[in-house]
Structure 1
């Protein structure tokens, strides 16, 4: 059987004060390091043909108030 060590989480502000957000972000940042650089290349307009939407998704969006007529 493996003995897994569990680390206690940082104290959580359950009241949701905005002043605690910078500290929360600073504690989380090391866990999600972004790559140094993301290389994106331009896409030729000839390769862009539009968007295809499945009929069920189109009906769903059409039925929503924000996306309807």
Structure 2
């Protein structure tokens, strides 16, 4: 599902390189709005259910040292 309709006077290079991608991003950057603040909403523990961990994975994680040891 690709929309190849382009409303730009700049030629589009669909097989472009990294420089072409960077140029595309630079042209699009003014169109992106940045929110003032992103605050994660808390999730009620009652909504978290159905998570299962295989016993092999639990044993593997239990045997790993904590970060920074």
Instruction: Identify whether the pair has TM-score above 0.5, normalized to the shorter chain.
Output: no
Output the TM-score relative to the length of structure 2: 0.45
